[in-house]
Structure 1
Amino acid sequence: MTTTALRAPAPAPPRATPRWWADAGASTAWLSLLVVTALWVGNRGVQDLAGAWPDSVSSLGRLTGLLASDLLLLQVLLMARVPPVERAFGQDRLARWHRWTGFTSFHLMLAHVVLITVGYAGAAGANVVGELWDLVVDYPGMLLATAGTLLLVLVVVTSLRAARRRLRYESWHLLHLYAYLGVGLALPHQLWTGTDFTGSPWSTAYWWTLYAVSAGAVVLYRVGLPAWRNWRHRLVVDRVVAEGPGLTTVYLRGRDLDRLPVRAGQFFQWRFLDGPGWSRAHPYSLSATPHTGVLRITVKDLGDGSSRVGGLRPGTRALVEGPYGRLTGEHYTGGPVVMLACGIGVTPLLALLGELPYPPGQATLVYRARSEADLAFRAELDWLARQRGVRVVYLLGPRAREDSWLPAPAAGRTDAEALHRLAPHIAAAEVYLCGPDAWTAAARDAARAAGVSPDRIHTEQFAW
């Protein structure tokens, strides 16, 4: 274990993300839904809605189809890893929105299929089942659209919480990639037979632009940018250090690492070219301040890919995607800092303690672990306490209860009272949290109850 990374002078981190980016992104998403609705209105949507019942039902079917398509493409953009979007919102928030837009789009798509079929059947005086068969078989592009719909059904079913709990992340991720194929198969149907797509030059221009932007973002930021960064920086394992039972630190070197646009607190998706299974990416945060000539991650053995990290050999090539995450100090302007870590969640906070320019004695780290043996980086934390006046508080023992962030020995007070006692200046501090989902939620609630405003609470979950 070494404190070299803590002592080494580091160049200035990347520029802070302008706060208005988030507002601009959200406004653009809502504007796209308004544009789609306006295009429907301009193509006699309201007139048809007020007409005979078959026309009214078909018009509603057209509107739900348009909204479903727009949300589906927004869903693709949300997880295309577009750097300005990622930096403005953070990957955990984008993952939640991706999930919400996905389920909403799916339900609107089902409504579209039912309404269009019923409306067309009513206009033709035909049987609904027969009309559905004719639509699938006879209309241009509908067989492809049906295949795309079945793929989207597969993605939605495997995204339900009950299904995700039974799937490994790698299996879920592989199945989830079929969503891209589903979107692609739906395109011919919409552009060949969708009157709202081809009814006017404005409609055609809008939909082609949205499809092109979505496809381009995926190709550029999910494929092109990671390929470029891996070619440029060429990361390899420098050395592997066992920190304790089931805990391994990996140091990596590469080319021009000072030009890698990463901040302390962020994470990468890592792949190590050490044999079968290399294609499975895993999210690991940096556990030391970047821009010191090396990158460092610390991994807890939780099974699957994490168990292989301890066996990595020097010289093993590493591929990364990222950096991702908003658990950073980009908007920190001074004053007290309070960090709450649970278990392996201490790693990004340790990197932040090395980077943030807090005054001496103004930083508090509350580090919770099950036992003394589970504590990591004691030497580095001792160095930070001596050299930068960081106040380190260790809380040991099992959780007091499911909805508490405290260990059992410290459960005599409410969560907020205990937090205020451990960090009396908590209400005026920037608060950083990292740990398991339930623990982090309890710690966030305690911080709010202790008087911390929501915009001063920083956290990031590796959601999927």
Structure 2
Amino acid sequence: MTQPLVARAAIGTFLIVNLTLIHAMFLIAGPPAHNTFGQVGRLLGLYLAFAMTVQALLVARLPLLDRAIGMDRLTGCHRLTGFAVFWLAVLHPTFVILGFARYDRVSFLATAATLSKQLPVLLGLIAVSLIVLVVALSVRIARRRLSYEAWHTVHLLLYVVLVLGIVHQIYEGTAFTITVLTQIYWWGLWACAIGALITYRLAVPLTRNHRHRMRVAAVVPESGDVVSVHVTGRDLHLLGAKAGQFFLWRFPGHNRWWQVNPFSLSAAPNGRSLRLTAKGVGTTSAGLRDLPVGARVFAEGPYGSFTIDQRSGTATLLIAGGIGVTPIRSLLEDPNLGRDVIVLYRVRSGADAVLIGELRNLARERGARLHVLTGRTSDTNQPFTPANLHALIPDITSRDVFVCGPAALTDAVLTTLRHLKVPTRQIHAELFRLAP
């Protein structure tokens, strides 16, 4: 069984076992309310608390899950879990209030006003309000209007939600306080989730950055709005970084400590230095060219499974669009990539082809074929339709395909690959839909 299958089996087992235990606790506790509304509300509360522990584990960026499944798929799970938390956070208090309202024979609003005067309930309602705010700003329309930095900052409210949720459970929990065993299980589950969060989001990054002491070694403009930052430090080989992976970068003094950006390595790591290349589209990336040599660097990672370790064969197709060329260029430099390599680089014009000189030199050294696909997409210029891509790469179904670029390009390529029946195990995409 492959590593991804093992990881998925482990995740499935974890969910099934815990949901079974939660239902057992609910049944053992007996009727916790005076009517069906209250019963449903209490059960939804257990679901909500469990979903929050799952969410904490997802944003903890556990290395094992990242390597086996990939940060993009984990972020997809984070998004789905987030919407589950949202609906449970809305439905849980709604049913609880309906239960009390029916029992006391007063209106829903009057019951809600009375309950909200109790501190544990008030904290829970504040947590619900924060969840609604975060989800509202995460829907596609709102997300497009926010910078990555602003979106990431808003999501830090989820840590406040976790704290409020735990306090609310301490005062309001009943189903998991029936026996010592249920208490051990429930708080052990929370301890694992919070422990993983603290370990991999705080302790490990702080320890690594103290050890490696990374600094800016050089800042090299690549074009009008693209810049490369070379980073050096101590014992960088101990990071275990691979071509195609990315780090979360902070530049103390350049931006606020909570502002972080995911940038891929644009050169294969050599154990002595790291290089990122970014286009100035946000506050952080736009100001990278002003970084002084010697400036401190705080990097969290490496993350991502967009590496040649995921290949199922030896023939490879690398597809890049725009600034998505950075991990592709890194992969092309990987000494273990092999020689049967084709690179497709999609840009509007030759002037937009970032790192093209390096790509050509690497392709020449490796014996790879490089195709630069230029021009605006139109009815007569659509290189990634099934017919056009198959004509350009006749043996595409026998190749592992790595694709990174703007969402529209990546989606078009993935749709075409499915149409051409390229096996799923041979398709690898870097989407950068990163959970904060």
TM over 0.5: same fold?
A: yes
User: CA contact under 8 A between 1:367 and 1:393: conserved in structure 2?
Assistant: yes
User: CA contact under 8 A between 1:334 and 1:357: conserved in structure 2?
Assistant: no
Matches within 5 A, 1:308-347: 308-332=287-311, 334-347=313-326
Matches within 5 A, 1:252-331: 252-277=231-256, 279-331=258-310
Residue 160 of structure 1 pairs with residue 130 of structure 2: no
Partner Cα separation in structure 1 for residue 374 and residue 193 of structure 2: 48
- Give the corresponding residue for 2:13: 27
User: CA contact under 8 A between 1:286 and 1:347: conserved in structure 2?
Assistant: yes
**Which of the residues 401, 411, 431 maps onto 2:401?**
431
Tell me the CA shift for residue 444 of structure 1: 0.9
**Which of the residues 91, 95, 98 maps onto 2:71?**
91
Amino acid at match of 2:368: V
Tell me the CA shift for residue 447 of structure 1: 1.6
Tell me the CA shift for residue 422 of structure 1: 1.6
Partner Cα separation in structure 2 for residue 433 and residue 30 of structure 1: 34
Tell me the CA shift for residue 293 of structure 1: 1.6
Matches within 5 A, 1:395-406: 395-400=373-378
Change (3 A) 1:455 1:210: same
Tell me the CA shift for residue 363 of structure 1: 0.5
Report the 3-state secondary structure (helix = DSSP H, G, I; strand = E; otherwise coil) of the residue aligned with 1:244. Answer: coil
User: CA contact under 8 A between 1:298 and 1:347: conserved in structure 2?
Assistant: yes
- Give the corresponding residue for 2:39: 59
Residue 378 of structure 1 pairs with residue 356 of structure 2: yes
- Give the corresponding residue for 2:430: 460
Report the 3-state secondary structure (helix = DSSP H, G, I; strand = E; otherwise coil) of the residue aligned with 2:327. Answer: helix
**Which of the residues 194, 207, 218 maps onto 1:239?**
218
Tell which deviates more after alignment, 318-327 or 414-423.
414-423
Tell me the CA shift for residue 172 of structure 1: 2.2
Report the 3-state secondary structure (helix = DSSP H, G, I; strand = E; otherwise coil) of the residue aligned with 1:196. Answer: coil
Amino acid at match of 2:292: R
Tell which deviates more after alignment, 16-25 or 376-385.
16-25
Unaligned runs of 5+ in 2: none
Partner Cα separation in structure 2 for residue 443 and residue 390 of structure 1: 21
Tell me the CA shift for residue 192 of structure 1: 2.4
- Give the corresponding residue for 2:57: 77
Residue 418 of structure 1 pairs with residue 388 of structure 2: yes
The Cα offsets for residues 183-210 of structure 1, whole Å up to 9 and x where unpaired, read as 2112233232322121233331222112
- Give the corresponding residue for 2:96: 116
User: CA contact under 8 A between 2:148 and 2:282: conserved in structure 1?
Assistant: no
User: CA contact under 8 A between 2:232 and 2:272: conserved in structure 1?
Assistant: yes
User: CA contact under 8 A between 2:212 and 2:234: conserved in structure 1?
Assistant: yes
- Give the corresponding residue for 1:8: none
**Which of the residues 435, 445, 452 maps onto 2:415?**
445
Partner Cα separation in structure 1 for residue 120 and residue 363 of structure 2: 66
Amino acid at match of 1:188: V
Partner Cα separation in structure 1 for residue 368 and residue 413 of structure 2: 20
Tell me the CA shift for residue 277 of structure 1: 4.1
Unaligned runs of 5+ in 1: 1-15, 402-407
Partner Cα separation in structure 2 for residue 95 and residue 61 of structure 1: 28
- Give the corresponding residue for 2:345: 367
TM (norm. structure 2) is 0.93
Tell which deviates more after alignment, 87-96 or 219-228.
87-96
- Give the corresponding residue for 1:4: none
Amino acid at match of 2:358: E
Report the 3-state secondary structure (helix = DSSP H, G, I; strand = E; otherwise coil) of the residue aligned with 2:402. Answer: strand
Report the 3-state secondary structure (helix = DSSP H, G, I; strand = E; otherwise coil) of the residue aligned with 1:376. Answer: coil
Change (3 A) 1:260 1:417: same
RMSD value, Cα: 2.2
Count of matched residue pairs: 433
Amino acid at match of 2:82: G
Amino acid at match of 1:396: T
Tell me the CA shift for residue 374 of structure 1: 1.3
User: CA contact under 8 A between 1:245 and 1:374: conserved in structure 2?
Assistant: no
Tell me the CA shift for residue 276 of structure 1: 4.7
Amino acid at match of 2:111: E
User: CA contact under 8 A between 2:62 and 2:196: conserved in structure 1?
Assistant: yes
- Give the corresponding residue for 1:189: 168
Change (3 A) 1:141 1:410: closer
